[in-house]
A and B are shown apart, each in its own frame.
Chain A
Amino acid sequence: MSNLFSAISPLHSALNYHLERSSVLASNVAHVDTPGFKPKDLERVSFNDSFSAALRVTNERHMGGVPTSLENGRVFTDLSAGGGKDGNFVSLDREAAKVAANQMRYDVVSAVASAELRELAFAASDGKGG
């Protein structure tokens, strides 16, 4: 397996995490008025723990490290905003802040991946440009 794109793998995996988290957060926002609803969030898992060893789905189509895997993070319930009278724990302010931060991080990782790939493209063209 080629080492050429090995720096892209952790970036790919970070993109997977942030994208999946965006669904979880969108779900919290949609449920702001659902009785009894408790907001969830997605926790990043460290690359070296046993949880992530289980993530390495073998799929020949994917090359270079951690592919699109089944589990991109650990789900946890976030009750820190406190509950309302109908048992709903969603705070729009809190969720909106998380949505914004998560999106920005996705954007940055995407830009980093682009920059990495541009460097490699430059090297591939032997320094003569694109």
Chain B
Amino acid sequence: MALGPIEGNLTLMQPKGTTDAEFVSRLKEAKTEGASNGTSFEDVIGQAILNTNQRVNTATEAGQAFAAGKTDDIHGTMLALSEADISLRFVGNVKNKVVDAFYELWRMSI
């Protein structure tokens, strides 16, 4: 065991490799990705609905795998569960809107 100095304490707090600045800029790129390549909000929601079933399956499997001890990935499992939940909410919301729109049209035609 060595009793060496801790040179520049700040360098210990910052992991080696990419800096926080690079990480944040990558995050910003990811957020604006959709907007810049011409994907509209409707397209995003449409895709979300199509993928919902898959996400729910992934989430269920992730939960089961963790319970069975096949994986130790806590944050991965939690993220999968959360994403499935949000996808389902979108689907539910869109369904409600479609139903509302249908009834409105139906009333108008009477």
A–B contact, 8 Å CB criterion (strictly below): yes
Which A residues contact B (CB, under 8 angstroms)?
A: 1-12, 14-17, 19, 21, 32-33, 41-47, 61-65, 68, 73-74, 76, 80-84, 88-94, 97-98, 101-102, 105, 110, 113, 117, 120-121, 124-126
Do A32 and B1 have beta carbons less than 8 Å apart?
yes
Q: Does B4 contact A (CB under 8 A)?
A: yes
CB neighbours of B23 from chain A (8 A): 10, 14, 44
- One digit per residue, 1 when the CB lies within 8 angstroms of any chain A CB and 0 when it does not, for chain B 15-45 equals 1111000110011001101100001000011
Supply 28 A–B pairs (Cβ within 8 Å), ascending by A: A2-B47, A2-B48, A3-B34, A3-B39, A7-B27, A7-B31, A11-B27, A12-B76, A15-B75, A41-B15, A41-B16, A43-B15, A44-B15, A47-B22, A61-B58, A68-B76, A73-B17, A76-B16, A80-B4, A82-B2, A82-B3, A89-B2, A97-B13, A101-B12, A101-B15, A117-B79, A121-B86, A121-B89
CB distance from B36 to the nearest CB of A (A): 11
CB neighbours of A113 from chain B (8 A): 75, 79
- Report how far A21 CA is from B31 CA in the complex, Å: 26
CB neighbours of B83 from chain A (8 A): 5, 8, 64, 117
CB neighbours of A68 from chain B (8 A): 73, 76
CB neighbours of B55 from chain A (8 A): 63
Q: Which residue of A lies closest to B22 (CB)?
A: A46
CB neighbours of B9 from chain A (8 A): 97
CB neighbours of B13 from chain A (8 A): 97, 101
Which B residues contact A (CB, under 8 angstroms)?
A: 1-4, 6-7, 9, 12-18, 22-23, 26-27, 30-31, 33-34, 39, 44-45, 47-48, 50-51, 54-55, 58, 61, 73, 75-76, 79, 82-83, 85-87, 89-90, 93
Interface Cβ pair total, 8 Å cutoff: 138
Contact of A126 among B2, B22, B93 (CB under 8 A): B93
Q: Which residue of B lies closest to A82 (CB)?
A: B4
Q: Which residue of A lies closest to B76 (CB)?
A: A68
From A68, A80, A98, residue with most partner B Cβ within 10 Å: A80
CB neighbours of A101 from chain B (8 A): 12-15
